């Protein structure tokens, strides 16, 4: 089951660029939350702050409070511990090229030292089924490299890989931006099914996508969060003029 | 679902920060060991050559004497031999290497490109001692019986080809050196020429230039600093090359204008006399020669690297 | 020229004047001449290579026999004998060198690629490695002599191994760094995003992905030092008899080739050729074998 996230006063920098300015946002558990905004508005940086991936870049820095359940991820835990509880799917599929499909899916477990074969086998099947990939690959799990799949299949495998560690939160950074329309709709279906079990945060530049999958939507602009509300309200009756301009296509 | 075995297992794994920090520390230590190696070499060479450094001072490098019996040592003949053979080798190797590089990057039909680069790189994989062996049994007789007399006949008037020609000597050593440094210079030059963007070539061709003019203006002019760097790297290799040179240079501390005369290089005197050096001063003088060789090659290589970096730094890495 | 009045009507460009045609002919001639020269240069370079390989195979193969691989050198004047002890000795020295040089070289490369990005310290290490790479091998020989042999008071296989190990480090470091640089950053992020610690990511993801290139780099470094003679002259020293101990003088193939090549005996010259052929074949075979093994582990479809 997922866990809610409470963000208070989050600031982030890249070198001297202030990329996130004082973000406050409650993300409800077991729902999908979409983040929209023009490119460079800080939405990707924001999700990377939620699992402390932001700080893997030596020039990057973040301050503020991010509460996941009852722990403050910047105070009460190490980055490694947080990332084990939070799955992440990146913009482009990034399978491990030297590993088979099987090893790719359970890499988060194996690389962290998990050895129980029976559970590993079960996990591969469970997460590939959750990612709607099981039927397509079940016959060559150990024969084929993860990199030999098509782009859409790779991305679903990456989702399975993120689900295999049994996370509480699933972060998706424009997961369909590098995919064709058919693969995109498959990924959207997936998110729709997964959101009852996980807290999902999805970054997208595609407003229709946000409207289709998410209950709540936040609009980012120039490093600030302009508006956060239920998706329906954001798209039909936004409070802020800038949100309205963006969703009606007047800029960006 | 509330507490699956996986979630339980992962939550019990520690932060791993201890492992992370020690791993980073070990990697850093290994990287620093490269500094340590250079530092150790330098220190030990200075310590062990102390006696000679004190006794002869800077004059060591301008004195011609090399007399182990009376303990009188000077490095001039070796410096001369090293410079003469290296420069002569460059004189022979550079035009050829440039020719090969131009051929491979600009003129060579595509199917021939890979085998020829492979062959030239194979040259680099042959051990020095095998070159030496070949030189002793093929190049030396060739020099004695054919090439030498021919040079005397055609270029004898220059005064560079006088005296008895035994086949061994400065010229033979230079030729084998040239063969050995050719692959280094030509493969580096090739990389540097490949780093010149195609737009430069097209720009010149579009002005109606012939292929040679395109190479001269579009390619060579753009890569000349890098090429000089490549030549310097070849020089660095030639200065320190030991075995093949020792086997064919004649090993005699003479300074002679004739290229047929036997000579000695800094590296070959160490190779030849180090294990039989009796007396501390003798050994110390040989180690000082090693120190000089070390410092000179470091300077030459540093300049060369800077030049090559200046050109290839922004180019995409070569795919191996 | 500059004083000419500007006219609106430009005279038509005549490409067929006599001087123009002459110029074109001259330029074309230069072009062909230079092209011919560069072809000639390539031929001149390939010629000695073919000569060396031909001589090596011709002279070496005719001198090779079974005894070469099973016997130790015969005393002067006696015919026969082989280089069995040198082959084994080279193997021991190279094993020692690889055990020390490869881990240190790879670790230093990992530092440069995974931890040192953009740091001035990394630039300094990189540069020092390049410079160390150019240090003459004979200098390495006398340094290790002074450092180890003089302390131990005798020549040893260990000293030879250390000298060769030091020569392997900079090459391996630079290839490792270069190969790790080709591993896409996205793959590291994937591992880090799964909560894999950085050290595990570096070993199981970055290094493993780059492993074919790194193994090839290690083999090239190995091949380069396998033929080195100069650093062994005053460290391993050579030995006419069997020796398996690390703290005793030991025979090595390149050393034995050198000794035989400059000797005055025909029988020994024969052995030198045979030894050279064996040395080169051993180098080539080990490089090829490792490449094949390195490629076998990679799954189909992986890039």
A12 CB-near residues (< 8 Å, 6+ apart): A18, A19, A20, A42, A45, A46, A49, A54, A60, A61, A62, A63
The parent domain of residue B140 ranges over 77-312
Confidence of residue B52 (pLDDT cuts 50, 70, 90): very high
Exposure letters A99-130 (e unless 16+ CB within 10 A, then b): bbbbbbbbbbbbbbebeeeebbeebbebbbeb
Rounded to 10 deg, the angle between the C18-63 and B170-194 helix axes is: 120
Strand order in the sheet with A216-221: A86-89, A169-173, A199-203, A32-36, A216-221, A224-230
- For residue A44, the surrounding DSSP H or E stretch is helix A43-50
- Give me the torsion for CA of B25, B26, B32, B34, rounded to 10°: -170
C-alpha B212, offset from chain centre: 29
Question: What is the rounded average pLDDT of the residues B281-304?
Answer: 93
In chain B, the number of structural domains is 1
- Whether residue C245 is contained in a domain is answered as yes
The DSSP element (H or E) to which A36 belongs, if any, is strand A32-36
Give the pLDDT of residue A217: 94
Residue C69 lies in a domain: no
Strands (E), chain C: none
Nearest CB to A53 within list C189, C204, C209: C189
Task: Quote the distance between the C-alpha of residue B72 and its chain's center.
Answer: 30
Whether the pLDDT of residue C4 is over 60: the answer is: no
Decide if B209 is inside a domain: yes
Q: How many CB atoms lie within 10 A of CB C67?
A: 13
Supply the CATH number for residue B115's domain.
1.10.3720.10
| pLDDT tops 90 at residue A70 | no
> Three-state DSSP class for A173?
strand
Bigger pLDDT: B10 vs B285? B285
Q: Please tell me the predicted confidence (pLDDT) of residue B152.
A: 87
Alpha carbon C198 to its chain centroid, in Å, reads 32
Here the tokens at position C188 are: 């590291």
pLDDT at C104: 97
Residues of A in contact with C187 (CB under 8 A): 94, 96-97
What would the mean pLDDT of B67-92 be, rounded to a whole number? 93
* DSSP single-letter state for residue B63: -
What number is the average pLDDT over the span A219-225? 93
Distance from CA of B18 to the nearest CA of A (A): 12
Closest chain A CA to residue B5 = A119
The mean pLDDT of A14-37, rounded to a whole number, is 93
- Would you state the structure tokens that stand for residue B241, as one six-digit string? 């090359």
Q: What is the CA radius of gyration of chain B?
A: 26
Q: Is the pLDDT of residue A21 over 60?
A: yes
- Quickly count: other Cβ atoms within 10 Å of residue B161's Cβ: 22
Q: Is residue B193 part of a domain?
A: yes
Residue A122 confidence (pLDDT) above 90:
yes
pLDDT at B310: 75
Task: Output C14 or A18, whichever has higher pLDDT.
Answer: A18
Q: What is the pLDDT of residue C295?
A: 64
Query: Is the model's pLDDT at B11 over the cut of 90?
Result: no
Q: Which residues contact B12 (CB under 8 A, 6 or more apart)?
A: none
Query: For position C205, which CATH number holds?
Result: 1.10.3720.10
> If you average pLDDT over residues B249-271, what whole number do you get?
91
Residue B284 at interface with chain C, using a CB cutoff of 8 Å: no
Nearest residue to A84 (alpha-carbon basis) of C208, C204, B8: B8
Inter-chain touch B293–C136, beta carbons under 8 Å: yes
Q: What pLDDT, in 10s, does the model give residues B195-224?
A: 888 888 888 888 888 888 888 888 888 888
Q: Residue C1: its pLDDT value, please?
A: 45
B3 pLDDT tier (thresholds 50, 70, 90): low
Q: Which residues are bridge partners to A68 per DSSP? A: A5, A71
- For the record, the structure tokens of A1 come out as 């089951």
| ipTM for the predicted complex | 0.90
Q: Mention every residue, 6+ apart, whose C-beta is less than 8 A from residue B162.
A: B156, B257, B258, B260
**Direct distance between the N- and C-terminal alpha carbons of chain B, in angstroms, rounded to an integer:** 49
Is B315 in the C-facing interface, judged by CB distances under 8 Å? no
Q: State both tokens at B319.
A: 């795919």
Residue C104 lies in a domain: yes
Half-sphere exposure of C166 (CA within 13 A, CB side): 31
Residue with tokens 């075979």: C285
Q: What is the mean pLDDT of chain A?
A: 91
Q: Which of B1, B10, B23 to mutate to test the interface with A (most CBs of A within 10 A)?
A: B10
Q: Return the residue in A78, A80, A164 with the most chain B beta carbons within 10 A, the one to mutate for interface testing.
A: A80
CB contact under 8 A, A85 and B9: no
> What pLDDT is recorded for position C117?
83
**Least confident window among B83-87, C1-5, C100-104:** C1-5
Q: Which residue of B has its CA nearest to A1?
A: B2
pLDDT tens-digit readout, B54-78: 999 888 998 888 988 888 899 999 9
Among A82, A2, A94, smallest CA distance to A49 is for A82
B159-196 residue pLDDT tens: 888 888 888 999 999 999 999 999 889 888 988 888 88
Which of the residue ranges B2-6, B300-304, C199-203 has the most confident prediction, judged by mean pLDDT?
C199-203
Contact status of B50 with chain C (Cβ, < 8 Å): no
What would the pLDDT profile of C136-164 be if each residue is shown by its tens digit? Answer: 999 999 999 999 998 888 899 999 999 99
The pair of three-digit structure tokens given for residue B176, joined into one six-digit string = 């084998």
Residue numbers in C near A92 (CB within 8 A): 186
Q: Give a yes or no: residue B191 inside a domain.
A: yes
Beta strands B66-67 and B72-73: pairing type? antiparallel
Asked if C299 and A100 touch (Cβ cutoff 8 Å), the reply is: yes
Mean pLDDT, residues C107-128 taken together: 92
CA gap B305, A185 in Å, rounded: 53
What distance in Å separates the CA atoms of residue A162 and residue A156, rounded to the nearest whole number?
Answer: 10
Say which range, B303-317, C168-182, C186-200, has the weakest mean pLDDT.
Answer: B303-317
Residue C280 lies in a domain: no
Q: Which chain C residues are within 8 Å of A100, Cβ to Cβ?
A: 299
Give the per-residue pLDDT at B319: 33
CA distance A47 to A54: 8
Number of other residues whose CB lies within 10 A of the CB of residue C293 = 10
Q: Mutate which of C13, C34, C36, C38 to disrupt the B interface (most B C-beta within 10 Å)?
A: C38
Residue C15: pLDDT band by 50, 70, 90 thresholds?
A: low
Measure in Å the smallest separation between the Cα of B302 and chain C Cα atoms.
6
Scan residues 134-163 of B and list those with Cβ closer than 8 Å to C.
134, 136-138
Angle between helices C84-110 and B17-48 (to 10 degrees): 120
Report residue B320's pLDDT band, with 50, 70 and 90 as the boundaries: very low
A229 touching B, CB under 8 A?
Answer: no
Contact C146, B287 (CB under 8 A): yes
Instruction: With residue C261 as reference, give the H or E element that holds it.
Output: helix C253-261
Beta strands A17-27; A32-36: pairing state? unpaired
Does the structure show a pLDDT above 70 at C298? no
Give chain B's mean pLDDT.
88
**Averaged pLDDT for residues B120-142:** 88
Residue A158's pLDDT band, with cuts at 50, 70 and 90, is very high
Domains, in order of start, for chain A: 5-94+168-247 (3.40.50.300)
| B6 closest CB neighbour out of A78, A81, A119 | A119
User: How close A230 comes to chain C (CA, Å)?
Assistant: 28
Number of domains chain C contains: 1
Average pLDDT of the residues in A5-30: 93
Mean model confidence pLDDT for chain C: 87
**Which residues on chain B are in Cβ contact (under 8 Å) with C46?**
116, 119-120
Chain B partners within 8 Å of A112 (Cβ) = 10, 13
Tokens encoding B74: 């000077």
B285 pLDDT tier (thresholds 50, 70, 90): very high
A vs C: CB pairs below 8 A: 90
Give percent above pLDDT 90 in chain B: 47
Distance, in Å, from the CA atom of C256 to the CA atom of C71, rounded to the nearest integer, reads 14
Contacts of B98 in chain C (CB under 8 A): 41
The answer to whether C115 contacts chain B (CB < 8 Å) is: yes
Are B16 and A80 contacting, i.e. CB atoms less than 8 angstroms apart?
yes
Q: What are the chain A neighbours of C204 within 8 Å (beta carbons)? A: 111
**Average of per-residue pLDDT across B216-241:** 89
């Amino acid at each position: 089951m997922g866990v809610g996230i409470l963000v208070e006063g989050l600031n982030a920098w890249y070198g001297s660029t202030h990329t996130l300015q004082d973000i406050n946002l409650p993300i409800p558990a077991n729902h999908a939350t979409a983040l929209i905004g023009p490119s460079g508005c800080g939405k990707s940086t924001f999700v990377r702050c939620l699992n402390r991936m932001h700080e893997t870049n030596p020039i990057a820095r973040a301050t503020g409070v991010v509460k996941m359940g009852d722990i403050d991820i910047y105070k009460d835990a190490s980055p490694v511990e947080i990332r084990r509880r939070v799955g992440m799917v990146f913009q482009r599929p990034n399978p491990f090229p030297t590993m088979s499909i099987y090893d790719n899916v359970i890499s988060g477990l194996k690389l962290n030292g998990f050895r129980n074969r029976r559970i590993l086998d079960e996990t591969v099947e469970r997460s590939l089924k959750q990612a709607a990939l099981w039927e397509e690959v079940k016959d060559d799990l150990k024969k084929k490299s993860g990199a030999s799949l098509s782009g859409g299949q790779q991305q679903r495998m990456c989702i399975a890989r993120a689900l295999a560690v049994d996370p509480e939160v699933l972060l998706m950074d424009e997961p369909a931006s590098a995919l064709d329309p058919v693969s995109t709709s498959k990924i959207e279906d997936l998110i729709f099914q997964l959101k009852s079990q996980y807290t999902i945060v999805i970054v997208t530049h595609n407003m229709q996508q946000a409207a289709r999958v998410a209950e709540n939507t936040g609009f980012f602009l120039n490093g600030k969060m302009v508006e956060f509300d239920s998706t329906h309200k954001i798209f039909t009756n936004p409070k802020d003029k800038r949100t309205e301009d963006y969703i009606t296509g007047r800029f960006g | 679902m509330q507490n699956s075995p996986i979630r339980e297992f992962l939550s019990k794994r520690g932060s791993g920060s201890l492992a992370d920090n020690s791993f980073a520390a070990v990697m850093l230590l290994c990287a620093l060991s490269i500094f340590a190696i250079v530092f150790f070499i330098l220190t030990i060479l200075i310590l062990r050559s102390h006696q000679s450094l004190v006794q002869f001072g800077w004059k060591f490098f301008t004195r011609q004497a090399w007399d182990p019996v009376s303990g009188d040592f000077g490095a001039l003949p070796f410096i001369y031999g090293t410079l003469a053979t290296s420069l002569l080798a460059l004189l022979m190797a550079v035009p050829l290497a440039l020719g090969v590089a131009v051929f491979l990057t600009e003129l060579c039909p595509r199917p021939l490109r890979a085998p020829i680069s492979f062959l030239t790189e194979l040259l680099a994989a042959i051990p020095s001692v095998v070159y030496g062996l070949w030189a002793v049994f093929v190049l030396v007789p060739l020099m004695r019986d054919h090439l030498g007399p021919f040079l005397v006949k055609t270029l004898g008037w220059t005064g560079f080809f006088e005296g008895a020609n035994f086949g061994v000597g400065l010229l033979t050593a230079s030729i084998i050196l040239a063969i050995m440094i050719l692959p280094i210079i030509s493969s580096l030059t090739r990389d540097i020429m490949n780093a010149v963007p195609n737009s430069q070539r097209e720009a010149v061709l579009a002005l109606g230039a012939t292929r040679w003019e395109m190479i001269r203006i579009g390619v060579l002019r753009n890569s000349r600093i890098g090429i000089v760097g490549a030549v310097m790297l070849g020089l660095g290799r030639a200065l320190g090359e030991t075995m093949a040179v020792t086997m064919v240079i004649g090993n005699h501390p003479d300074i002679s204008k004739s290229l047929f005369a036997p000579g000695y290089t800094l590296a070959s005197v160490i190779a030849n006399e180090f294990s039989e050096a009796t007396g501390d001063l003798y050994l110390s003088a040989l180690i000082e020669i090693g120190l000089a060789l070390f410092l000179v090659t470091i300077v030459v290589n540093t300049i060369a690297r800077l030049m090559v970096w200046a050109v290839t730094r922004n180019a995409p890495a070569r795919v191996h | 020229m500059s004083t000419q009045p500007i006219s609106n009507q430009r005279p038509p460009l005549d490409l067929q004047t006599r001087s123009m045609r002459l110029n074109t002919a001259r330029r074309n001639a230069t072009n062909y001449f230079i092209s011919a020269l560069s072809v000639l240069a390539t031929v001149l370079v390939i010629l000695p290579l073919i000569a060396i390989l031909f001589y090596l195979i011709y002279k070496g193969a005719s001198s090779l026999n079974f005894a070469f691989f099973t016997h130790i050198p015969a005393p002067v004047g006696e015919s026969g004998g082989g280089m069995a002890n040198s082959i084994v000795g080279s193997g021991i020295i190279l094993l020692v060198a690889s055990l020390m040089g490869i881990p240190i070289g790879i670790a230093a490369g990992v530092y440069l690629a995974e931890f040192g990005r953009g740091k001035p310290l990394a630039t300094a290490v990189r540069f020092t490695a390049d410079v160390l790479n150019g240090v003459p091998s004979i200098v390495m020989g006398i340094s290790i002599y002074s450092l180890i042999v003089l302390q131990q008071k005798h020549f040893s296989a260990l000293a030879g191994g250390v000298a060769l190990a030091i020569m392997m480090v900079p090459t391996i470091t630079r290839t490792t760094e270069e190969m790790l640089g080709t591993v896409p950053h996205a793959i590291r992020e994937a591992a880090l995003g799964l909560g894999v610690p950085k050290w595990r990511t570096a070993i199981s993801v970055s290094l493993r992905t780059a492993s074919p290139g790194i193994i090839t780099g290690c083999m090239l470094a190995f091949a380069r030092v396998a033929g080195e003679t100069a650093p062994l002259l005053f460290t391993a020293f050579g030995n006419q008899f069997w020796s398996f101990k690390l703290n005793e003088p030991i025979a090595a193939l390149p050393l034995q080739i050198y000794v035989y090549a400059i000797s005055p005996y025909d029988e020994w010259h024969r052995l030198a050729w045979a030894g050279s052929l064996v040395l080169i074949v051993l180098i080539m075979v080990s490089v090829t074998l490792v490449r094949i093994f390195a490629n076998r582990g990679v799954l189909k479809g992986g890039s």
